[in-house]
Amino acid sequence: MLKKPVLTPKWIYSAPGADRPSFSPDGSQIVFHVESGNDVSLWIVDADGSNPHLLYPPARTANPRASRPDWSWSEKIAFGNNGAIWTINPDGSDAAPYYRGTIAPPGGLAYPSWYKDLGAIVAVAYHDNPTAAELHKLTPRFIGQLTTSPHPCAGRPSVSPEGTKIAFAGNSGVCSQSVNQIWMWEPNIRPHRIEPGDPASVQGRSPNWSPRGDLIVFSSNRGKPPSKSLAAWVMNSDGTDPRRITEIGLHPQWNRQQTKIVLASPSGQIGIVKFRGM
């Protein structure tokens, strides 16, 4: 039996399609995307729920596809934009493609995750509609593939604070978020699941590495039978001691102080939980 969740989110903002939030470096603001039909745009709101405003693209832009933002350890925000990774300042200036090298990048890039030193970004490249997905490391002038589908088929990544490991959602043999587990990429080691056992019993997705490197927060509906809704879970970064911390929680992400977690609900709420360790 699952333990009763111990944290209740404070819902600070609500809009249909609001999801995938990410804290600013000082924790005072949150960037997130809002999906409406086929249109997706980036918004920023203060952490107390005040001052929500459009970040990108400009109002009345046709067919916007700006999604899945990740606020760096500094001021830059990375996001997916029509299959490429872009960056932007929080005041809306300098929106531009991140990669500007001569080798053609793969299409379908999404889910950027910054390295702490801002020297590179890891993202997922989806292709074949999408029956394959691989992790790629990007700098402004270089791009390199890190994993190969279908073993594993990769999803949202999170780079460890020291930059040597990447936690990511994935599974072996099929691209399906509903059956993902939490995997790990390390140099010179084959990508591997970090929790042993039956894959269905350790379902997990959307990992985010804690700033101190000791914990990973993620979404899961694991249980027997599986829960009907995804909840926020935390485990040690080696895959031990997983514990559910909220009743619901999509795409959780730490603040840089490791004292709060921001997450979303299926109904478009953005919420914050205070984390004191457990």
Q: For 108-164, how does the pLDDT look when each residue is reduced to its tens digit (9 = 90+)?
A: 999 999 999 999 999 999 887 666 799 999 999 999 999 999 889 999 999 999 999
Whole-number pLDDT of residue 100: 95
Instruction: Give the domain extent around 174.
Output: 10-274
Using 50, 70 and 90 to split pLDDT, how confident is the model at 12? very high
Cβ proximity of 160 and 167 under 8 Å: yes
The pLDDT assigned to 278 comes to 63
The answer to whether 142 touches 113, Cβ cutoff 8 Å, is no
Contact predicate 236/215, CB 8 Å: yes
Residue 238: CB atoms within 10 Å: 11
Query: Going by DSSP bridges, is the β-strand pair 96-97/260-264 parallel, antiparallel, or unpaired?
Result: unpaired
Query: Is it the case that residue 194 has pLDDT exceeding 50?
Result: yes
Q: Is residue 3 part of a domain?
A: no
Model confidence at 270: pLDDT above 90: yes
Q: What is the chain's mean pLDDT, rounded?
A: 93
- CA 192/CA 167 separation, integer angstroms: 10
d(CA 49, CA 70): 19
Answer for the pair 229, 221: CB distance below 8 angstroms, yes or no: yes
**Would 234 be classed as within a structural domain?**
yes
Give the dihedral sign, CA 87/79/265/192. Answer: negative
Taken in order 28, 31, 34, 39, the sign of the CA dihedral is: positive
Given the DSSP bridges, would you call strands 166-171 and 181-186 parallel, antiparallel or unpaired?
antiparallel
Does the pLDDT value for residue 174 go beyond 90? no
The closest of 216, 217, 219, 277 to 247, measured between CA atoms, is 219
156 or 174: which leads in pLDDT: 156
Question: Which percentage of the chain shows pLDDT scores above 70?
Answer: 97
Q: Phi/psi zone of residue 188: left (φ > 0), alpha (ψ -120 to 50 degrees), beta?
A: left
Q: How many domains does the chain have?
A: 1
Q: List own/partner pairs for 185-193 with CB under 8 A and 24 or more apart.
A: 185/135, 185/146, 185/147, 185/157, 191/147, 191/152, 191/154, 193/239
The reported pLDDT for the residue numbered 1 is 42
Asked whether residue 5 is domain-assigned, the answer is: no
Domain-embedded: residue 70: yes
Q: Is 170 contained in some domain?
A: yes
- DSSP label of 49: S
The answer as to whether 211 is a domain residue is: yes
Give the closest residue to 33 by CA, choosing from 98, 112, 96: 112
Burial degree of 189 (CB within 10 A; 0-12, 13-18, 19+):
exposed
Q: Give the range among 14-18, 89-93, 175-179 with minimum mean pLDDT.
A: 175-179
Share of the chain above pLDDT 90, in %: 83
In-domain check, residue 4 = no
Residue 24 lies in a domain: yes
At 54, which CATH number? 2.120.10.30
- Given a contact cutoff of 8 angstroms between Cβ atoms, the answer to whether 70 and 77 are in contact is yes
Among 204, 198, 191, 206, which Cα is nearest to 149's? 191
**pLDDT score recorded for residue 183:** 97
